[in-house]
Amino acid sequence: MDHAEVIRSQMTEKYLLDELDSLERDAFEEHFFDCPACAADVHAGALFVDHAKTVLAEEAVAERHAPVPSHARPSWLSWFRPVFALPATAILLLVIGYQNAVTIPHLSHQLNTPQVLPFAAVNVGTYGSEAPAILTHPGEGFLVFVRIPPDAAFVRYTAELYDPERKLEWNLAFAPITGQDEYPVQVPGSDWKAGRYALTVSGVTASGESKEIGNAQFEVQVQK
């Protein structure tokens, strides 16, 4: 299990909500023991869960012991309290609280903090086929400056990144910019495998026809 898969599948949230089967749980625990970012997220999320359980339990006890007026008549809404409403509220509060306490601040910090990222410049199509090296760390992102031969026939480009085992890491669609033949692509952090990665770029016409322009390769060197 790599970091990109964890983010895509929201494994941290599912782990905290106990929604993973035994195999997924073991794989995720093996990952976050070696991933400082995920370990920090799990720790912060676990603290929030413990606090949320305490608060919800106190509210449930207070509601259970609250006096009920003798003239009060049960309504259809009573079916949802407390047996149904409390678990649903707990899950909702957990998800919202986790996002506010962990995910959003973490992403905001990354977006608002200047960073110097590793990078490489690669050429697609007629520009050549050299494979520059990028030195990165587990969970760290990097930049790839992709040069694409301009072609007025294309209204959109699609790029696909494959790992050394030829498994698709991600894909990206973007529009061409007039007079520009180089595009900076920010690759999100992942549990990188050392080896040669391939970036395949295709052009899409106004009629929706897709044509492969070419591919570029680069080496990822992982420093732990």
Q: Cα–Cα distance between 17 and 99 in angstroms, integer?
A: 13
**Mind listing the pLDDT tens digit for each residue in 74-106?**
544 444 444 444 455 555 555 545 555 555 455
**Residue 137 and residue 212 in one domain:** yes
**Residue 149 and residue 79 in one domain:** no
Domain boundary among 59, 87, 112: 112
Position 65 scores a pLDDT of 61
Q: Which domain holds residue 17?
A: 3-67+74-112
- Whether 109 has a pLDDT exceeding 60, the answer reads no
Choice between 141 and 130, residue whose per-residue pLDDT is larger: 141
Predicted TM-score (pTM) above 0.85:
no
**Residue 103 and residue 131 in one domain:** no
pLDDT band, residue 72 (cuts 50/70/90): low
Position 179 scores a pLDDT of 84
The first and second tokens of residue 152, run together, are: 């007025």
**Residue 30 and residue 78 in one domain:** yes
> Is the separation of the CB atoms in 134 and 110 below 8 Å?
no
**Residue 100 and residue 32 in one domain:** yes
Position 21 scores a pLDDT of 85
Q: Residue range 160-185: average pLDDT? A: 91
Position 1 scores a pLDDT of 67
Q: Which residues contact 190 (CB under 8 A, 6 or more apart)?
A: 2, 3, 4, 139, 141, 169
- Whether 12 has a pLDDT exceeding 70, the answer reads yes
**Residue 159 and residue 141 in one domain:** yes
**Residue 189 and residue 213 in one domain:** yes
**Residue 194 and residue 93 in one domain:** no
**Residue 128 and residue 189 in one domain:** yes
CATH of residue 159's domain is 2.60.40.1220
**Residue 87 and residue 24 in one domain:** yes
**Residue 169 and residue 186 in one domain:** yes
Total tally of structural domains belonging to the chain: 2
Q: Cα–Cα distance between 177 and 80 in angstroms, integer?
A: 55
- Whether 121 has a pLDDT exceeding 70, the answer reads yes
